[in-house]
Structure 1
């Protein structure tokens, strides 16, 4: 693997922050995440104010992650075809232009949602290119810590972004908040373009036409699916949150089941995010070998606490159970170096793009499916049973993934 720093010392936060450009990477991520989450709140309120439709307002969140499946597969080759830095800057600028266009007076709601779809379409490409650049900037010891820090920023933004977004909308209005989001993308682009080191393209020799990009994106997906160890690891990173996301998907319905006020659902959303941050911050202090040994216990921790919902706990207890489940997501710190070892540099941009898009797609589909079950069955029962089923499925998957040969050998084989 190519690296710009030596493989020692350890993998802690300070070691990551000492790498040139990494502070700018994290600052850009924090700025754009804060703006994006606040803008989702602003756009939801703006659409509801214009239409009075709860359905159209809810479509804002759907349009935020729906394009991940398409953009993450059709355009994934761009993350390898070009050096990551210009790809990241271009994605930020395109997103900033789209959000700025939402400020046009009298813009129809379908146009607003269409612009949001565009920003969602480029989001997995941005995430894939950023992860590919980290693979060059950080070595095998610090790479998991770097990705963990990005996840921590994201989850911290989730904890504060929606609440602060609501306050900001009340204080300055949705249009000004959208303007701030557009500015946040410009700030992120400037930080990345001016303060981060250049890294090479993974596979720069492909053609520049759209047809060649689509073709190479398909080739990257086939490459991923053909390498059994890599495929098993990626599927595991999708399955773990795919099952555990049921708590978020049914948070409002479960709150109603307990007889609590609907606003109490915020405690459930916050509980999962807080647990994720706490888990990542705890594991980042441990040696790499320890993080690797904790993968299986953490995978199970992400699922088993959900079984407690079968007892219909109070909202505070339910939030604590979701916090434990979120802490289990720290298993990614043990899985990330395995994925990096099993992948080839020429395919890493496509690999991380597909991983990000698949993760969002699986969670979106899972939340929708679990939400539908919650209409017919008690939400607590759905969450509890899903936790038990998820524990059984991911325990089998983790045994197969960690038992795979470490050389990244290919073969069609099983999943």
Structure 2
């Protein structure tokens, strides 16, 4: 694979990624499906609430979005290595489109709606793992972390706009039409990936094609990660950073109430972390690979220390600024990704990235749930501040030997 000019001209990094054949289609597909998925979560939550009048049933939409990652990302991870990544990506998109389209069936029972959502949740980590494995083939070692950074930037930008756009569109066209748009977004993503991205080879194509064999090889992938101590520490570090810093989202509404602000002001906190992440990714992407490597420890620590400021009970705008600083630290992955890539045998990369992505989502979900539980007994600012202290200690322990 040819070396990019990124070695000598770091500022051209993101542009170099976009010049690689097929990369524009990859990122366009990700943007389309991300916005569609986030808007659909809003639509499905509102649809279920309108039909049941139950806040619990509506909240289960988010639970069903997070829950399958832990299972689907581990049990099915070997599929990302068994087949050509492009084939896996297109199949995942089309299956997701079918599931979302199934939600449009009139009078479909609520458990069936949530069941279809669970299926899309099982598919998501496999899609993300196969996409990362594909990037590792299509991009050289220097551009790979920038490619993943651009995906994260698109994701966080979609978070900022997706929920807001979803709320507006639900009011304008109704939840069923918005679900239709989401189904179409997966089809568009499949077309972009299927026709405009280069094919990459399967990394481990041999073996039985049975569910038992898939589960067995997925287990081998987990053992490979866990037995490799440097790799294990790196993966745990990529989980710990967002796992601790995500508590701000879990306690956003409670904190704004404690600060004496309207509940709607919680949007400042939700947006703050996402905006900080986008800015951090864009700034760090302009640096050289060696500089990004040296910044790993400062960035992982910087993702946690701002949370300690919540002990002081900052105003909502100041709290949003602290969360933005915390989010900027997530750019540490640009330094960590090359280390993970070099520490992983090519035949395990699909499984590794699938497990990494599923673990990240699971840890964030657990962090939000735990912080919400603690926030019912303690002041939200105290919980966030204590999490900052704990998170700083944990990430320093994991990063000290990298």
- Whether TM-score is above 0.5 comes out as yes
Q: CA RMSD in A?
A: 0.8
In structure 2, the residue matched to 1:203 is: 204
After superposition, the C-alpha distances for 1:52-83 in whole angstroms (9 at most, x for unaligned) are 00111011011011100000000000000001
Q: What secondary structure, in the 3-state scheme, does the structure 2 residue paired with 1:376 have? A: coil
In structure 2, the residue matched to 1:6 is: 3
| In structure 1, C-alpha distance between the alignment counterparts of 2:357 and 2:6, rounded to whole Å | 29
| In structure 1, C-alpha distance between the alignment counterparts of 2:295 and 2:350, rounded to whole Å | 27
**Residues 9, 333 of structure 1: alpha-carbon distance in 2 compared, 3 angstrom cutoff:** closer
Please say if 1:343 is aligned against 2:340: no
Query: How far has the Cα of 1:8 moved from its partner?
Result: 3.8
After superposition, the C-alpha distances for 1:187-221 in whole angstroms (9 at most, x for unaligned) are 00000000000000010112111110000000010
Please say if 1:361 is aligned against 2:362: yes
Within 5 Å, which residues of 2 pair with 1:14-413? 14-400=15-401, 402=402
Query: How far has the Cα of 1:259 moved from its partner?
Result: 1.1
Q: Is the CA contact (8 Å cut-off) linking 1:7 and 1:140 kept in structure 2? A: no
Q: How many residues align?
A: 398
Query: How far has the Cα of 1:303 moved from its partner?
Result: 0.2
Query: How far has the Cα of 1:7 moved from its partner?
Result: 4.3
Q: Is the CA contact (8 Å cut-off) linking 2:4 and 2:16 kept in structure 1? A: no
Unaligned runs of 5+ in 1: 403-415
After superposition, the C-alpha distances for 1:122-143 in whole angstroms (9 at most, x for unaligned) are 1000000000000000001100
Query: How far has the Cα of 1:251 moved from its partner?
Result: 0.5
| In structure 1, C-alpha distance between the alignment counterparts of 2:251 and 2:75, rounded to whole Å | 31
| In structure 2, C-alpha distance between the alignment counterparts of 1:9 and 1:157, rounded to whole Å | 27
> After TM superposition, where is structure 1 displaced by more than 3 Å over at least 4 residues in a row?
7-11
| In structure 1, C-alpha distance between the alignment counterparts of 2:136 and 2:242, rounded to whole Å | 23
Q: TM-score, normalised by structure 1?
A: 0.95
| In structure 2, C-alpha distance between the alignment counterparts of 1:294 and 1:225, rounded to whole Å | 25
Q: Is the CA contact (8 Å cut-off) linking 2:6 and 2:143 kept in structure 1? A: no
| In structure 1, C-alpha distance between the alignment counterparts of 2:127 and 2:318, rounded to whole Å | 37
Q: TM-score, normalised by structure 2?
A: 0.98
Q: Is the CA contact (8 Å cut-off) linking 1:31 and 1:188 kept in structure 2? A: yes
